[in-house]
Structure 1
Amino acid sequence: MATLSVSVVSADQEVWSGEATQLIARTVEGEIGILPGHEPLLAILARGEVRVTLPGGEKITAQADDGFLSVENNNVQVVARQAGLV
């Protein structure tokens, strides 16, 4: 099974990083879902949840305030002004 390498960081700390099968985040244009093989993307985050599904089905949720989301070659970086696990 293909996975994503995900990193969620805030201005002052790494909030979470690891392998995932799916990521859902709120952007200024609405919610977006990222799966392995997604085309390259750069999006502006809106305040809201970033939901990550791990390979075993467990889910991790972080609250992110402003920032951006970058996707390239199954690497996803979420960079937020403020972020923390919920």
Structure 2
Amino acid sequence: MSLASRRWKHFTAMALIGDGVMAVLRPDNDALAWKHGPKPWKQLMGTLQERPVLTRTVGVLQIVGGVWWALHQEQAEEASLKPVEPAQ
């Protein structure tokens, strides 16, 4: 895996975690921040803005998913760097 690919995956995991934290702390503001784009997307964000418990739940899932992804990527990188044992 290239360095650029690893950086983008790490950045994406950080963005998921950060947005998840904001959704948990301020669900109405987080949904409002994302309320731009096509009509179906705006409707979805409007629904999330009206349902703070659902928005917080999505935020928690983002945090868990982002942390899992970051840890999984680290393990995959470590495994790819280990020397291969010769067959006996």
Give the TM-score band, short-chain normalised.
under 0.3
Bigger CA radius of gyration:
2
Query: Which protein has the bigger strand share?
Result: 1
